[in-house]
Structure 1
Amino acid sequence: MKKKDKVNINSISGSMVSMGHDGSNVSEGYGAYQSQEQIIVPDTKSQDFEIGKSIEATDGHHIVSHPTSYADTMLHLFRGNIGSGLLAMGDAFKNGGIVFATISTVLLGIICVHAQHLLLNCSEEMYRQTKRDKPPGFAETVALVFANGPTRLRPLASTMRVLVNTFLCITQLGFCCVYIVFIANNIKMICDQYNIHIDLSIHMIIVVVPVLLSCMVRNLKYLTPFSTIANLLMAIGVSVVVYEAAQDLPPVETRVYMASWQSLPLYFGTAVYAFEGIGLVLPLKNEMRKPELFQKPFGVLNVGMVVVGCIFITVGFLGYLKWGDDVTGSLTLNLKPGHILSNVVQGLIAIAMLFTYPLQFYVPICITWPRLRKRYANTSPVIKELGYRSILVLLTFILAESIPQLGLFISLVGAISSTALALVFPPLIELVYKSQTSKGIPIVILMKNIVIISLGLFIFVTGTYESIASIVRAFQL
C-alpha cells in the first residue's frame, strides 16, 4: 500500500478551496481509501502545490518538500474565492442598494480578512505551544484553543471541533446544492432559446445524473484535469459577463442607493457566502516556501483579498447598475437571450460548476465517512461507501429541488454556515486564547471581537429568517 498522503483539493467554489475536512487532516482516516492520491493542478507553476509531502526540519520547524511561491499561492487564493458567489453579487447589490452595498462590501471584506488573520495567529500559536508535527487546520485549531484555554472551557474542545466540521459540511453541501440549481438554470436558459421548453425541476433531474456518476470516482487524482478546466472556463465566462454588464450603463441615479431593511439580511447572506474563504487560508500558508509572507501587510492574504474584493464590488456594482431589479442570482442568466455568445458563456460556466461539484463534495465525505465506515462498513466497505455517496448526492438534489430560487438559496447558505465560520469562530477563539495570557483580554480586543461576533450572529439570525421567509413567499406566488 502506498504511504498515506494528504489529498489536496483545488477547486472553484462559492468562496473557498477545501483541503481536507479541517484544512489539514485528510490523511487521518479517509486517506486510507482509494481517494488517497494527491490532487495536483497540472500546470507548470502549480505543480509545487502539494499537500502532505511535509517533513520536520532539524530545528523542529514544519517544512514541505514542494513549497509554493508567493505567486503560486496568490493564484490559488484567486481560484478559491472566485466562483458562484461572485456571479451572485449583482443580486446582493440589489438587496443592499448600490451605495450601501458598495460601502458594506468593503467593510465586510475587511472584517472577514481580519477574522482570517485571527485564525492564522491562533493556529500558529497552537502549533508552537503543542509542538505538533504539522500546523493544525481549522477545526483542530479551534479544538486546541479550547483544550488549552480556561479550565471550565476545556471540556468543550471536542464539541467545538464537531461544530466547526458540522458547519464545514453544511457549507460544502450547500455549495453542492447551489451548483445543481445554478447548472440547471443555465441549461434551461440555453434550451429555451432553441424552443426546448422543459421545467426547471426536470433539468435538475437531468443534471443530477452526471453529478452522481462523477461523485462515484473515489480516486480524486482522476478529477485533477477537470479542476483546471473548470478554472479556465470560469475565468472566460466571468470575463464575458463583466464585459456585457459594462455596456450601455444607465445613470447611477436610476438605482436604489439603500434597499429596504427587509432585504438587507439577504445582501449580507450573499456577501458573506462570497467572502467566506476561511477554510482556504491555513492550507495555503502552511504550504508556502516562505509562510511568513502570507500575513505581512503586503503579503498574499491582504493583497489577494484586496483584488478579490475589488472584483466582487465591480461585478456587483455593474450587474445591479446594468440590470437593476431584474438582476438574477447568477449574472449569466441576465445575458442577452438568443445570442450565441450568451449561450456559450452559460454553457461554459455550467460545465465549470459540474466539474467542481465532486471536488467540493469530497469534503463532507472525508469528514463523515471514516466514522461511519468503522461502525457500519466492516464488510463490503467500497459498496457501502458508494451507497453513502449516492445518498448525499440525492440529498443535495432534494434540497435543490425544494429551493430552486438561486439567489435565495445562496443567501440562505451564507447566513446559516458561512457567517459562523467566517465571523464567529475566529474572534471567539482569540478571546479564549487571550484569556489565558498573563495580561488577560485587552478591552479594545474584547470590544472589537464582541462587535464581530455580534455582527455574525445578527447576519445568522436575520439572514436565515429572511431567506426562509422569502423562499416561502416565492412559493406562494
Structure 2
Amino acid sequence: MSPAAGVQAPLLPDQKPGKAEKRASVSGAVFNVSTSIIGAGIMSIPATLKVIGVIPAFLLILIIAWLAEISVGILLQYTHSGDSTTYAGVMGESFGRIGSIAVQICVLITNLGCLIVYLIIIGDVLSGNKPEGSVHLGVLQEWFGIHWWNSRVFALLFIVVFIMLPLVLCRRVESLRYSSAVAVLLALVFVGICSVMAISALLNGKTKTPKLLPELDNHTSFFDLFTAVPVIVTAFTFHFNVHPIGRELEKPSDMIKATRISMVLCALIYFSIGLFGYLLFGDSIMADILVNFDQSSSSSALGSLLNDIVRLSYAFHLMLVFPLINFSLRANIDELVFSKKQHSLEKDTNRFVFLTFVLLAFSYLAAITIPDIWYFFQFLGSTSAVCLCFIFPGAIVLRDVHGISKTGDRIIALIMIILATVTSSVAISTNIFGFVSNK
C-alpha cells in the first residue's frame, strides 16, 4: 500500500495561502521520525531475543516495521481525503467525538508516560538509584562522589531548565531536526560501542552461542513468546507525530518517503543492538540493558570508560527525544481541552507557554517523586501504543467513511487489529499472572 503517493498538494494546507512559509526538508523529517521511534524501546529489544530467539526476533522486527509503515500510510491517505489535520481529527471523522477522545487519551498515556520514564532513566544514569535496597551509583556520583548538587533532584532540574526547556519551546517540528540528528547519532554510537564490545568478547571466547529459535522450558512458556510483540510494537510507535511532522512538508509523498527511510534505519538499529547486546550478555541480559552495563565487569579503566560512555550517550539521546514526544502530547492536550479556541496553539503564545511549562513541571515532579512508575506506564503504554499503531488505523480502514479502501486494504487492516488484540491480550494476561505469582 502506498496511499497518496505522488500527490503534489500539501498534507495540511497553510493557514494563510498568501504568505509563503518555508517547508520542512525530507532529511529533517527522517531525523525527526527516527528520533520519535528510537526512545526507551531500544533498551528492551535485546531481552526479546533472549525470549523468542534471534531468527523470530528478526522476522518480527521486519513485520512490525512493515505494518507500522502501512498504518502510517492509512493515516496520511485518510487525512488527505478528509478535512482533518490531526490524528484525533481523522478518528473523529470516522467515529465521532468518541474516536477523537480515544486517540487523545492514548497519546496522553503513551507520551506522558514516556516523558516521565525518560527523566527517570536520565536520573538513574546521572545520579543512580536504589532498587530493592541495593545502591547503584550514577555517572556523576562515580566521578565526583556523592554531593547535593549531583542528587537526582538537582541533576534533573539542571537538565530540565538548561537543555529541555529551550527545545520544548520550539513551535515547529522542523526546528528540532538538528537535535534529532544528534539523537540518531548518539543511538548509533550506543550501537557501535555495543558491537565493538560484543565482537571483542566473541573473539576472546567470552560469549555464548545465542538461541536462534525459542526454547520452551521451566523459565519460558509458550505464552511468554507473545510478550515480545507489544514491546516491538511500542518500539515502532510514532504515529502521534505523523501529522505534526507531515504538515510541515511540501507534499504527502515526502512523509511517506521519510517514513520508509526511517523504518529501515530503525529496524537496522533495533536488530543490531538486540543481537550485539544478546551476544555480549547472553541469558543474563536484563529487561533494561542499561542495568547490564551498570552491573557488568569493569575491572579495567577502559571497561569503566566504555560503560560510562554507553550510559551517557543514551541519557543524552533521551534528552533530545524528549521535545519530540512533548510536541505531540502538548498538541493533543490543547486539542482536547481548548478545542473551541479560535487561534491555533503555535499562534497563541500564552496558551503555548502555559501548556509547555505545566507538562515539563509535571514530568519533572513525577520523575523525582515516583521513580518506580516504570512498570505502571510500561503496562499502560504498551496497550495505548498498540491502539495508536494498529487498532485505530485498522478501524479507520474498516469504517471507510470516504469510500477509498480496497479489499486488500481491509484484509490488512483486519490482520493488524487481530494481531494487535490477540497478542496484547495474551501479553497483558501473562504479565499480570507473572506479577501475581512473584507476589
Same fold per superposition (TM over 0.5): yes
Q: Which has the higher contact order (CA 8 A, sep 6+)?
A: 2
Q: CA 1:340–1:219 in structure 2 vs 1: closer, same or farther (change >3 Å)?
A: closer
Q: CA 1:400–1:159 in structure 2 vs 1: closer, same or farther (change >3 Å)?
A: farther
After superposition, the C-alpha distances for 1:122-160 in whole angstroms (9 at most, x for unaligned) are 11111xxx4xxxx6121111112x2xxxxxxxxx41111
After superposition, the C-alpha distances for 1:382-408 in whole angstroms (9 at most, x for unaligned) are 8898567544543455554244xxxx6
Structure 2: distance between partners of 1:97 and 1:465: 22
Structure 1: distance between partners of 2:120 and 2:194: 19
Secondary structure at the aligned position of 1:329 is classed as: coil
2:304 pairs with 1:344: no
Alignment match, 1:360: 325
Q: CA 1:162–1:171 in structure 2 vs 1: closer, same or farther (change >3 Å)?
A: same
Q: CA 1:284–1:363 in structure 2 vs 1: closer, same or farther (change >3 Å)?
A: closer
State whether residues 379 and 428 of structure 2, in contact with CA within 8 Å, keep that contact through their aligned partners in structure 1.
yes
What letter corresponds to residue 388 of structure 2 in structure 1? L
State whether residues 415 and 464 of structure 1, in contact with CA within 8 Å, keep that contact through their aligned partners in structure 2.
no
1:78-227 paired onto structure 2 within 5 Å: 78-126=34-82, 130=83, 136-144=85-93, 146=94, 156-187=95-126, 188=128, 189=136, 191=138, 194=142, 209-210=157-158, 213=161, 220-221=169-170
1:192-271 paired onto structure 2 within 5 Å: 194=142, 209-210=157-158, 213=161, 220-221=169-170, 230=183, 232-249=185-202, 250=207, 252=209, 257-258=214-215, 260-271=221-232
Alignment match, 2:416: 452
Q: CA 1:125–1:233 in structure 2 vs 1: closer, same or farther (change >3 Å)?
A: same
2:372 pairs with 1:401: yes
State whether residues 208 and 282 of structure 2, in contact with CA within 8 Å, keep that contact through their aligned partners in structure 1.
no
Q: CA 1:263–1:232 in structure 2 vs 1: closer, same or farther (change >3 Å)?
A: same
**Aligned-pair CA distance for 1:307:** 2.7
Alignment match, 2:131: none
After superposition, the C-alpha distances for 1:355-414 in whole angstroms (9 at most, x for unaligned) are 544553454444336876899xxxx998898567544543455554244xxxx6675255
Structure 1: distance between partners of 2:354 and 2:240: 30
State whether residues 124 and 138 of structure 2, in contact with CA within 8 Å, keep that contact through their aligned partners in structure 1.
no
What letter corresponds to residue 257 of structure 1 in structure 2? P
**Aligned-pair CA distance for 1:169:** 0.7
Q: Which runs of 5+ in 1 are unaligned?
A: 1-50, 147-155
**Aligned-pair CA distance for 1:340:** 1.2
Secondary structure at the aligned position of 2:22 is classed as: coil
Structure 1: distance between partners of 2:297 and 2:209: 25
Alignment match, 2:429: 465
2:263 pairs with 1:292: no
State whether residues 23 and 250 of structure 2, in contact with CA within 8 Å, keep that contact through their aligned partners in structure 1.
yes
More helix by share: 2
Secondary structure at the aligned position of 2:222 is classed as: coil
Structure 1: distance between partners of 2:61 and 2:339: 44
Structure 2: distance between partners of 1:72 and 1:276: 19
Identity %: 17
Secondary structure at the aligned position of 1:270 is classed as: helix
What letter corresponds to residue 267 of structure 2 in structure 1? G
Structure 2: distance between partners of 1:212 and 1:228: 20
Structure 2: distance between partners of 1:197 and 1:412: 35
**Aligned-pair CA distance for 1:207:** 5.7
**Aligned-pair CA distance for 1:423:** 0.7
Alignment match, 1:417: 384
Structure 2: distance between partners of 1:116 and 1:277: 9
Alignment match, 2:24: 68
Q: CA 1:208–1:362 in structure 2 vs 1: closer, same or farther (change >3 Å)?
A: farther
After superposition, the C-alpha distances for 1:310-360 in whole angstroms (9 at most, x for unaligned) are 221222122223322221233333334431121122123223324544553
What letter corresponds to residue 193 of structure 2 in structure 1? V
Structure 1: distance between partners of 2:167 and 2:307: 34
Structure 1 length-normalised TM: 0.67
Structure 1: distance between partners of 2:236 and 2:167: 29
State whether residues 122 and 141 of structure 1, in contact with CA within 8 Å, keep that contact through their aligned partners in structure 2.
yes
Q: CA 1:365–1:392 in structure 2 vs 1: closer, same or farther (change >3 Å)?
A: farther
Q: CA 1:69–1:365 in structure 2 vs 1: closer, same or farther (change >3 Å)?
A: closer
Deviation larger for 204-213 or 99-108: 204-213
Partner of residue 331 from structure 1, selected from 289, 302, 309: 289
**Aligned-pair CA distance for 1:56:** 5.8
RMSD, matched Cα:
4.1
Partner of residue 54 from structure 1, selected from 14, 27, 34: 14
Structure 2: distance between partners of 1:456 and 1:399: 30
State whether residues 91 and 328 of structure 1, in contact with CA within 8 Å, keep that contact through their aligned partners in structure 2.
yes
Q: CA 1:304–1:99 in structure 2 vs 1: closer, same or farther (change >3 Å)?
A: same
State whether residues 50 and 278 of structure 2, in contact with CA within 8 Å, keep that contact through their aligned partners in structure 1.
yes
Q: CA 1:254–1:460 in structure 2 vs 1: closer, same or farther (change >3 Å)?
A: closer
State whether residues 29 and 245 of structure 2, in contact with CA within 8 Å, keep that contact through their aligned partners in structure 1.
yes
After superposition, the C-alpha distances for 1:417-440 in whole angstroms (9 at most, x for unaligned) are 110000101111011116x63xx9
Alignment match, 2:133: none
Alignment match, 1:429: 396
**Aligned-pair CA distance for 1:444:** 4.3
Structure 2 length-normalised TM: 0.72
State whether residues 267 and 411 of structure 1, in contact with CA within 8 Å, keep that contact through their aligned partners in structure 2.
no
**Aligned-pair CA distance for 1:256:** 5.3
